[in-house]
Amino acid sequence: MHDLLFEHQGELEDDDIRKYATQLGLDMERFARDFHAEGTAQRVDADRQLGQKLGIEATPSFFVDGPTVS
C-alpha cells in the first residue's frame, strides 16, 4: 500500500485510498472498519505531530546520527 500512496501523492482522497486497497485485494470490510477507527486516527495524528516536532517537511526523510527530540 505504501508504494501506491507514494506513487500517487496527488491522489489521496478517501475514494482513491479505497481504490488502492481494492486493487491490492485487501479485505475491504476490515479495511473500512480500520480506516474509520478512532485508534487509527490517533496513530496517524501522533505520527504527524512527531514529524512536525522533528521538523520533517517531506517523506522520505533521513537523519544522520539520529534526530534530536526535546
Q: What is the pLDDT of residue 18?
A: 96
Question: Is residue 28 within 8 Å of 10, Cβ to Cβ?
Answer: no
Domain boundaries, the chain: 2-53
Residue type, 60: P
Q: What is the pTM of this model?
A: 0.69
Q: What is the pLDDT of residue 57?
A: 84
- 4-61 tens-digit pLDDT: 998 999 999 999 999 999 999 999 999 999 999 999 999 999 999 998 998 888 877 8
Question: Is residue 1 within 8 Å of 20, Cβ to Cβ?
Answer: yes
Q: What is the pLDDT of residue 19?
A: 97
